[in-house]
Amino acid sequence: MPNPVEPAAPAPSDFIRDIVAAHVAEHKYPRVHTRFPPEPNGYLHIGHAKSICLNFGIAREFGGLCNLRMDDTNPAKEDIEYVESIQADVNWLLGGWAEDRLGLKQHDQTPETKTVDGKIDFYMPPVFGTSEAERKHAAIQLEPFYASDYFDQIYEFAVALIKKGKAFVCDLPPDQMDDYRRNGKASPFRDRSVAENLDLFTRMKNDEFPDGTRVLRAKIEVDAANIWLRDPLIYRIKHADHHQTGGKWCIYPMYDFAHCLSDYIEGITHSICTLEFEVHRPLYDWILESLDLPRPLPHQYEFARLSLSYTIMSKRKLMQLVDENLVTGWDDPRLPTLSGIRRRGVTAQALRDFAYHIGITKYNGLTDVAVLEHAIREDLNQRAQRRLAVLRPLKVVITNYPEGQVEQLNAVNNPEQPETGHRQVPFTRELYIERDDFAEVPPPKFFRLKPGGEVRLKYAYVIKCEEVIKDAAGKLTELRCTADLDSKMGGLTAGRKVKGTLHWVSAAHAVDAEVRLYDRLFTEAEPEQDGRDFKSVLNPHSLEVLTAKGEPSLAEANAEERYQFERLAYFTVDLDSQPSKLVFNRTITLKDTWAKAAQKG
RNA sequence: UGCCCGAUGGUGUAACGGUAGCACAGCAGACUCUGAAUCUGUUUGUCUAGGUUCAAAUCCUAGUCGGGCAACCA
């Protein structure tokens, strides 16, 4: 199959890459090391793709690495189903681009542990740059990193913090603690002795207390202007089985405590996240700086998350669409999930091009979905095999063409990639054309077929519409046309200039195929504008299912290939497709300036 | 309300004290055996007010508007 090379896009530049470039120039770190740390509590979406392309793009451009890490510190919300889908999505998006930058770890690998001069250190280096085949050959099983891999180490760090007098066990009930924090009041348990804190924290770990009765808090500043510095909670009791560690723990670290330490343990240099974590950065730094760690510390940088018009991105709301069966599942082709986008027929390449085009800033804007659509079309135009298929058939009989005759005509597979060659398309007396390509009363500038008018049938003849046949109800059933039999490629009148060219299929040879015509899921650019319920603006026409007539070669269509049904849209084989029942998803329509002109009238 | 962050055409971005550029969208045209693609042209912009400077999108101050945070979520 054609495999267009990565377009020679200029290396992107943005404020984060500028920082990394400066660090590289001054040799601040031995190696640039980023990470992509999703929580396995939902499916990845196109917003995550922006982050993946940033983190792996940086690794790629600066000769570094990027770890895939499950940020799994809240077993109540997480599930193994999500860790599996995340791995699949990341592998797909990285394929042919940055898989050699992906940092993974061996199964059962544990952090290297050292204590030097009373300083504790844990380090978990990645395995990287191995292909699937190499891994199989070496019989090593690689998997993502997990924050839960470090629960022992993170626990040790918490103990270290207690010993330094920088953390304490707090017995305040949740609502009271919130109240104290809001008002900048010190917890009455703030000044417990190190020994008592150590004892209590150990007993928390040993399952002596029920959920919610005690927490471990960092001892920073009771009335700091930044609320995240007001003695934040770093460990809570939660009696829940964890998808990775099972029943081993009944206490789990909070995000703020686990994240910076996971970054440190993995040797991350640039910890890139979205803007809402900006106010957490002082806490990120405080924890690492308080622990007296021997290796270089990671630093956090924030960028604006992606918002797309006609799209919702919140995991919770996507889950709602799935749970309420408003879509068919997480991989519904109308969803902005990576699995949905993939099923729709969008390539990883197109998504990466999109990610590069939108840039990285700290401004919370709304990206026009047209930018995405443009990236998809550009990619598919290069790679898609052209085919003839009719979505809404209208029968045409060529009255001067011999009955029973079959001509095999040469059709170009992809004019953008001439080396993909040709295929044969059968032409006969009875054909189907697109219903929309005929108008009994043509609007102005209509240069498709009309009574008495002429059009070119692609790769075949110029035909003239002689007669319009209707049934008793007055419904159009058939067109009777004559062909200029000298007008096909190489013929005497092949050079005739006819304004319109139509796609068609031979009625006798056509294969039936289910086509799923997807459109935007919402009718409004901002589904949640002014607090309106996004479900109130669902597009009732986001999916239309038809049975199309396709040229015979479509029977051999395969899932890896992309197709353009000429003059209509790009399609891909759906995973529901069977040899006995073909199913195609419409990825995206071709640009249609005629539709726009016709609408304007 | 407090704290933090941001603001460049319709949208997204670049310009790092010295000619406001690019992409998408729009519009007009050329070409076309895809009303696609391709090509050409083109409309539209530095939030406001002060200040610094020979010179400000850029630096400073204030304001306006927008976003985020104030979970035993991440």
CA A445 to chain CA centroid, Å, is 40
- CB proximity list for A258: less than 8 A, separation 6 or greater: A71, A73, A147, A150, A154
Cα dist from A403 to A397, A398, A406, A508, whole Å: 10, 9, 9, 12
Please identify which residue in the block is written with the tokens 């109308």. A334
Instruction: Residue A206: count other Cβ atoms within 10 Å of its Cβ.
Output: 10
pLDDT digits (tens, 9 = 90+) for A30-47: 999 999 999 999 999 999
Rounded, the Å distance between the CA of A519 and C1' of B30 is: 32
Taking the C1' atom of every nucleotide in all shown strands and the CA of A258, the nearest one is B74
A136 assigned to active site: no
Q: Is the confidence metric ipTM above 0.95 for this complex? A: yes
Is any atom of nucleic acid chain B found less than 7 Å from the CB of residue A559? no
Mean of pLDDT over chain A:
95
Q: DSSP letter string over A32-98?
A: -EEEE---SSS--BHHHHHHHHHHHHHHHHTT-EEEEEE----TTT--HHHHHHHHHHHHHHHTTTT
Tokens of A335: 């969803």
Instruction: Look up residue A367 and give its DSSP letter.
Output: B
Per-residue flag: A281 CB under 7 A of strand B:
no
For residue A73, give the nearest of A102, A40, A49 by alpha carbon: A40
Which residues from the 341-400 window of protein chain A have CB within 7 angstroms of nucleic acid chain B? 357-368, 370-371, 373-374, 377-378, 381, 386
Count the helix, strand and coil residues of chain A and give each as a percent rounded to the nearest 5. 30, 25, 45
Residue A177's nearest nucleotide, by CA–C1', is B72
A224-CA/B68-C1' distance, Å: 18
Q: In terms of Cα–Cα distance, which of A451, A440, A449, A458 is closest to A504? A: A458
Q: Is the pLDDT of residue A7 over 60?
A: no
Residue A218 CB contacts under 8 Å (≥ 6 apart), including other chains: A161, A166, A167, A231, A232, A234, A257, A283, A286, A287, A290
DSSP state of A12: P
A494 in contact with nucleic chain B (CB within 7 A): yes
Q: A492: how many CB neighbours lie within 10 A of its CB?
A: 11
Structure confidence by residue, pLDDT tens digits, A514-534: 999 999 999 999 999 888 999
Q: Which two tokens stand for residue A368?
A: 């026009």
Alpha-carbon distance of A552 to A457, in angstroms, equals 17
Residue A223 has pLDDT above 90, yes or no: yes
Greater model confidence, A128 or A183: A183
Copy the structure tokens of residue A132: 């699937």
pLDDT tens digits, one per residue of A396-433: 999 999 999 999 999 999 999 999 999 999 999 999 99
Contact present, A550 and A389 (Cβ < 8 Å): yes
Distance A7 CA to B19 C1' (A): 31
Among chain A residues 48 through 67, which have CB within 7 angstroms of nucleic chain B?
none
Model pLDDT, residue A132: 66
**Which amino acid, A476?**
L
* Per-residue confidence (pLDDT) for residue A140, from 0 to 100: 77
Active site residue A334: no
pLDDT-derived band at A213 (thresholds 50, 70, 90) equals very high
Q: How many CA atoms lie within 13 A of A105 on its CB side?
A: 21
- Is the pLDDT at A275 greater than 70? The verdict is yes
Closest CA to A218 of A195, A201, A235: A235
Report pLDDT for A115. 87
Dihedral sign of CA atoms A113, A115, A120, A126 in order? negative
Check residue A131 and give its pLDDT: 67
Q: Name residues 161-180 of chain A with a Cβ under 7 Å from nucleic strand B.
A: 172-174, 177-178
- Location of structure tokens 């009574």: A451
Report which residue is nearest nucleotide B71 when distances run from CA to C1'.
Answer: A178
Nearest to A537 by CA among A552, A549, A526, A551: A526
Q: Positive or negative CA dihedral for A398, A400, A406, A408?
A: negative
What's the confidence (pLDDT) of residue A381?
98
Share of chain A above pLDDT 90, in %: 93
Residue A596 one-letter amino acid: K
Catalytic residue among A17, A77, A166, A305: A305
- Burial grade of A282 (CB within 10 A; 0-12, 13-18, 19 or more): middle
pLDDT over 80 (residue A10): no
Distance CA A409, CA A92 (A): 38
- Mean pLDDT of the A191-199 span: 98
Q: Is the CB of A561 under 7 A from strand B?
A: no
Q: What is the CA radius of gyration of chain A?
A: 31
A213-225 exposure pattern, b = at least 16 Cβ within 10 A, e = fewer: ebbbbbbbebebe
Task: Say what the pLDDT of residue A163 is.
Answer: 97
pLDDT in tens, A91-127: 999 999 999 999 999 999 999 999 888 788 999 999 8
* Spatial distance from the CA of A304 to the C1' of B17 (Å): 28
User: Is the Cβ atom of A448 within 7 Å of strand B at any atom?
Assistant: yes
Protein-covered nucleotides on strand B (Cβ within 7 A): 2-8, 10-16, 23-27, 33-38, 66-74
Q: Is the pLDDT of residue A600 over 80?
A: no
Alpha-carbon distance of A166 to A194, in angstroms, equals 9
Residue A554 phi/psi, 5-degree rounding, is: -70, -20
- What mean pLDDT is predicted for residues A201-230? 97
A576 DSSP 8-state letter: T
| Nucleic strand B near CB of residue A224 (< 7 Å) | no
Please determine, for residue A385, whether its predicted confidence score (pLDDT) is greater than 80: yes
Q: Is the CB of A19 under 7 A from strand B?
A: no
Q: Which of the following is catalytic: A105, A205, A219, A315?
A: A315
Residue A64 pLDDT level (bands cut at 50, 70, 90) = very high
Neighbours of A115 (CB within 10 A): 10
A586 catalytic per annotation: no
Average pLDDT over residues A297-309: 97
- Report pTM: 0.95
What's the confidence (pLDDT) of residue A191? 96
Is the confidence at residue A130, as pLDDT, over 70? Answer: no
Asked whether strand B has any atom less than 7 Å from the CB of A493, the reply is no
Spacing of A310 CA from B28 C1' in Å: 29
